[in-house]
Amino acid sequence: MRAIVQDRYGPTEMLRLQDVDVPKIGADEVLVRVHASGVDPGVWHLVTGLPYLVRLGFGLFRPASRVPGMDLAGVVEAVGSNVERFTPGDEVFGTGRGSYAEYASAPANRLAPKPRNLTFEQAAAVPISGQTALAAVRDAGQVRPGKRVLVIGAGGGVGTFAVQLAKALGAHVTGMCSTGKLDLVRSIGADEVVDYTRTDITDRGQRYDVVIDTAGNRRLAQLRLALVPTGVLVLVGGEAGTGKWLWGFDRQLRALLLSPLVSQRLVPLLSRESTENLVALTELIEAGALTPVVGRTYPLTEVAEALRHLEDGHSTGKTVVTI
Ligand SMILES: NC(=O)c1ccc[n+]([C@@H]2O[C@H](COP(=O)([O-])OP(=O)(O)OC[C@H]3O[C@@H](n4cnc5c(N)ncnc54)[C@H](OP(=O)(O)O)[C@@H]3O)[C@@H](O)[C@H]2O)c1
C-alpha cells in the first residue's frame, strides 16, 4: 500500500511516499481503508519530535510508528478476533495509527460509525479536534446554559468545534480570532467576535466564566484577568513556545501548580479519545448542531505541505488529507 513514511524525527521535508506492507491488526483492533485523514499540530510534533518531551511517549530515538497520522475516516477492511462492534464494509471515523496511508490500524474503542450526514473529508476533521474541544468545553469548562465563554483561536481546528459546542450547551459565546476569520466565527454561531489584532482580551473590560485558550500565546496572568473570580481557564495548547524540551508546556505546568492557590480553576487539558466521545459528537453533528469546518485539503502525496501549512499557526478550521 502507499504510505507516507519517516525513519527519524526531523523536518517535514524528510517525509516521503513509499510502498509498505498493510499493517497487521491485533485482537482488539480494526483495519481501516482510509479515505481521509486530519492534520493537526499534534502530528507535526510527532513528525519533528519536538518538544523532546513527546519522545518519551512516542519513541525515544525514532518514531514508534513509521507512518504518521492519527485522525481517520474510512471503511472497515478487517476486524480483530475480539471486535464485535464493527464488520467489514462499515463506514467509520476515529483515531488510529499511521493514517497517512491507504490502510491504518485503529483500536476498536477509538472508532465509531461515521456520521451519516458527513463526507469522509468532513468526518476526518472531527476526531482529535472535536474530542479535544468536547473535553475543553463539556468536561474541563463544565459549560452550562447562560455561561459566558471566550474561545481564543476560535477560527482554528479546535476553536471552530469549541465555539459550536459551547453554543450547543447554551452558552453566550465570544470568539477571538484574526480579522479574516471574523465572518467564519460568526457563521458558526459565536454571539460576539473579537479581532485580536485590534483589541486584546483585557481591553474590553469583559469577564468570562470560561476561557478556552487554543492559541497559547498569552501569559497566565493576562488570561486570568479576563475571568470572573470563580471562572475556569482551559489551556488547550499553543505553538508559541520555542524551547526544545517543553515548547510552552511550562505554561501548563505552572497552571497546574498555581490552580490550588487561586480562586479560579486553571486546567491544563489532556484530551482522551473514545468511542463514547465520538458518539456524543455524532449526535450533535446529525442533529445539525455541529458541522466540521474543513479549511484546506491536500492529496496524500502532499502531507508535508499540509503540515507546513499548519506551521505558521494561522490555518482556518481543520486541514484534511484525502487518500
Ligand atoms: N491538550 C490537548 O489534548 C490538545 C489536543 C489537540 C490540540 N492541542 C493543541 O491545541 C492547539 C490548537 O490546535 P488547533 O488544531 O486548533 O491549531 P490551529 O488550527 O493552528 O488553530 C490555532 C488558532 O489560533 C489562532 N491564533 C494564532 N495566534 C493567535 C493569537 N495571538 N490570538 C488569538 N488567536 C491566535 C490561529 O488563527 P488566527 O491567528 O488567524 O485567528 C488559529 O486559528 C495546538 O497547540 C495543539 O497542539 C492540544
Closest C-alpha to ligand 1, atom 20: 313
Q: Can you identify the CATH homologous superfamily of domain 2-126+293-322?
A: Medium-chain alcohol dehydrogenases, catalytic domain (3.90.180.10)
The answer to whether 185 touches 161, Cβ cutoff 8 Å, is no
Q: Which of 73, 15, 22 is nearest to 47 (CA)?
A: 15
Q: What angle do CA 200, 131, 301 make, to 5 degrees?
A: 90
pLDDT score of 267 more than 70: yes
Task: Read off the pLDDT band of 182 (50, 70, 90).
Answer: very high
According to the model, what pLDDT value does residue 241 have?
Answer: 67
> Taking the CB of residue 264, how many other CB atoms lie within 10 A of it?
18
Residue 265 identity: R
Q: Do residues 87 and 79 make contact, with C-beta atoms less than 8 angstroms apart? A: yes
CA–CA separation, 180 and 169 (whole Å) = 26
Ligand 1 geometric centre to CA of 133 (Å): 11
Residue 307 clears pLDDT 80, i.e. is over it: yes
Domain 129-268's class?
A: alpha beta
Across the range 289-312, mean pLDDT stands at 96
How far, in Å, is the centroid of ligand 1 from the Cα of 62?
26
Question: Kind and range of the H or E element at 295?
Answer: strand 294-299
Residues with CB under 6 A from ligand 1: 40-42, 128-129, 132, 152-153, 155-159, 176-178, 181, 196, 214-217, 236-239, 269-271, 310, 313-315
pLDDT in tens, 139-175: 999 999 999 999 999 999 999 999 999 999 999 999 9
* Residue of minimum CA distance from atom 10 in ligand 1: 237
SS3 45: helix
79 band by pLDDT with thresholds 50, 70 and 90: very high
Question: Mutate which of 160, 273, 314, 316 to test ligand 1's pocket (most atoms within 8 Å of Cβ)?
Answer: 314
Q: Give residues with Cβ within 8 angstroms of 148, minimum separation 6.
A: 171, 172, 174, 206, 207, 208, 209, 210
Ligand 1 mutation target, pool 134, 158, 246, most atoms within 8 A of CB: 158
pLDDT band (50, 70, 90) for residue 56: confident
Q: Please give the pLDDT value at position 242.
A: 65
Give the Å distance between the CA of 40 and the centre of ligand 1: 9
Ligand 1 atom nearest the C-alpha of 271 is 3
CA gap 106, 93 in Å, rounded: 10
Q: What span, in angstroms and rounded, lies between the C-alpha atoms of 249 and 35?
A: 33
Q: Where are the domains of the chain?
A: 2-126+293-322, 129-268
Q: Ligand 1 test: best mutation among 152, 178, 193, 200, most atoms within 8 Å of CB?
A: 178
Quote the strand ranges of the chain, DSSP E: 2-5, 16-19, 29-39, 71-79, 91-95, 103-107, 111-113, 148-152, 172-177, 192-195, 208-213, 227-235, 265-268, 294-299, 318-322
Segment 113-134 shows an average pLDDT of 98
All cell numbers assigned to 105: 490500524
